[in-house]
């Protein structure tokens, strides 16, 4: 039975980003400039908030760009627990041609030992006050080692907190070994990280079953336009959302993870939590703006998502 109370989520966002986008003006007018808080953690947090969750975001929001990013995030009703002095990154894109052209990119500053310790402690304490902790990675090398994530999972499991991770590479390997609640990972990341020998369904299924045997309660493998693979100790299923015309494919995976985390937080069975995530991801690609959507539309659309058990 679904718990309709608002779940509390703690989102680790180690790489917040100020996103500046130049769009074609309406009716041939002057270009439009849009400014958003970005990065995987913040995009995911925005969708989780749209789905009714109470969201706390932990991350480094130092420097001039970090101040602006934090202000925009708080304006979107996200609670922030900022750490250290490391600065956030920034990305300027020209999207007037229909395809994004990066004009300028400023990577986030690397996190030193003290900044990592501050981020760890802040995330741990915040997660202990939440129903679910969501772990995200970064698009740049800011120096967050895999064992940072593994230690977080170990400490949160000791306090019986659910952990949903959207990670790849060494970070994914660390949370698998530590036994996170759910690892969400793409088919490409499964192959590139050496978890699977290929991206075919059989290869992914075999690899995910091996990973589940090592610790996680579930592995969710997103497969682009193909049905999402969900592997648990109880069996394997495919989750399929109705096809949508894509306006902007970015953020679909983050929206899916947000839906999964919200579903886990409110007590949905895992296949239904993934169905909510699939609906959030599918509807997100039909909108301008990453991590955005309306809860009532996503909840209704989730009823059209199919769940097929695999033998």
Contact indicator for 31, 22 with CB cutoff of 8 Å? yes
The dihedrals phi and psi of 244, each to the nearest 5 degrees, come to -130, 150
d(Cα 184, Cα 210) in Å, to the nearest integer? 15
Band (pLDDT 50/70/90 cuts) for residue 231 is very high
The reported pTM is 0.91
Domain ranges of the chain: 8-310
List, for residues 62-110, the tens digit of each pLDDT value: 889 999 999 999 999 999 999 876 778 999 999 888 788 999 999 888 8
Higher pLDDT, 1 or 222: 222
**Do β-strands 182-186 and 54-62 pair in parallel, antiparallel, or remain unpaired?**
unpaired
Closest CA to 166 of 152, 186, 148, 150: 186
Question: What is the per-residue pLDDT for 296?
Answer: 85
List, for residues 8-67, the tens digit of each pLDDT value: 999 999 999 999 999 888 877 899 999 999 999 999 999 999 999 999 999 999 889 999
Burial 186-225 (b: 16+ CB within 10 A, else e): bbebbbebebbeebebebbbebbeebbeeebbbbbbbbee
d(Cα 54, Cα 42) in Å, to the nearest integer? 14
Mean pLDDT of the chain: 90
d(Cα 72, Cα 50) in Å, to the nearest integer? 16
H or E element at residue 140: none
Helical H segments across 145-269, by residue range: 146-158, 169-178, 187-192, 201-214, 252-265
Q: Which CATH number fits domain 8-310: 3.40.1190.20, 3.30.1330.10, 3.30.930.10, 3.40.50.300?
A: 3.40.1190.20
The dihedrals phi and psi of 278, each to the nearest 5 degrees, come to -65, -40
In DSSP terms, 135 is beta-bridged to 12, 165
Handedness of CA 128, 136, 14, 158 (dihedral sign): positive
């Amino acid at each position: 039975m679904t718990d309709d109370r608002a779940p509390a989520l703690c989102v680790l966002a180690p790489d917040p980003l100020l996103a500046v986008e130049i769009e074609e003006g309406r009716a041939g007018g002057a270009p439009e400039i849009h400014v958003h808080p970005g990065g995987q953690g913040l995009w995911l947090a925005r969708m989780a908030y749209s789905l009714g969750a109470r969201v706390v975001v932990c991350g480094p929001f130092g420097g001039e760009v970090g101040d602006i990013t934090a202000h925009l995030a708080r304006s979107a009703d996200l609670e922030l627990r900022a750490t250290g002095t490391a600065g956030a990154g920034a990305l300027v894109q020209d999207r007037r041609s229909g395809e994004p052209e990066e004009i300028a990119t400023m990577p986030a500053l690397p996190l030193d030992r003290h900044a990592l310790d501050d981020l760890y402690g802040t995330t741990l304490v915040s997660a202990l006050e939440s129903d679910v902790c969501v772990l995200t990675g970064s698009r740049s090398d800011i120096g967050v080692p895999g064992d940072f994530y593994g230690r977080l999972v170990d400490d949160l499991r000791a306090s019986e907190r659910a952990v949903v991770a959207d990670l790849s590479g060494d970070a994914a390997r660390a949370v698998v070994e530590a036994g996170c609640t759910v690892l969400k990972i793409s088919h490409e990341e499964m192959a590139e990280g050496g978890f699977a020998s290929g991206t075919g369904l059989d290869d992914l299924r075999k690899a995910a079953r091996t990973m589940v045997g090592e610790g996680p309660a579930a592995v969710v493998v997103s497969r682009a336009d193909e049905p999402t693979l969900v592997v648990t100790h109880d069996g394997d299923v495919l989750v399929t959302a109705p096809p949508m015309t894509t306006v902007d494919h970015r953020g679909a995976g983050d929206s899916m993870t947000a839906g999964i985390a919200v579903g886990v937080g409110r007590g949905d069975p895992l296949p239904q939590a993934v169905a909510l995530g699939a609906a959030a991801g599918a509807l997100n690609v039909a909108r301008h703006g990453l991590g955005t959507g309306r809860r009532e539309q996503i909840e209704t659309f989730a009823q059209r998502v199919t769940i097929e058990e695999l033998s």
